Structure 1
Amino acid sequence: MRTLDDHGCELTLADLADETARREHDRPVSEIASETVSEIYLALYHTHVPKLADGDAVRYDQDHDIVDPRERVESLAQVLEVVG
């Protein structure tokens, strides 16, 4: 959610995985093992994005592989800042 909130625009799921990996590992994505990025992609695809879509925080267009943040992402990201 923080990545989506920071970007404030739609991202492909692959780009979201890259940005999430970069954020989690505090390194350029080119320095992160491709297996690690793939694991993040799969976790986003199978778990996180569907839950965010069910909660109306994002809209996911599976045909085009686009994750589009909704207004709710900002408020949820703020909650994460407070508790995290």
Structure 2
Amino acid sequence: MRRGHGGGNHGSGYGDSGHRYDNPPAPPQNYAGLTCPICGVVSAQGARFCQQCGSSLVPAPCTQCGTALSQNAKFCGSCGKAAK
């Protein structure tokens, strides 16, 4: 007869405790927040500046045709004018 552990796992302290320290869940699909083009944080709908890094969330208009330019645009996609 063997003595000791009777087999099975009786609370070894390892395993799933139900607590997770992963990244927070993504916002719901119907959430209309704006994603910062610089740091990727999702800010509230209608925000003009990123709540994490302070970057502008409002696209700058092209000085020639008025089309909204992306944050890192070098040229306007509509008229080809060089961005600032």
Same fold, judged at TM 0.5 (above): no
Q: Shorter-normalised TM-score: what interval?
A: under 0.3
Name the structure, 1 or 2, with higher relative contact order (CA <8 Å, separation 6+).
Answer: 1
Name the larger-Rg structure.
Answer: 2
**If each structure's helix is expressed as a fraction of its own residues, which one has the higher value?**
1
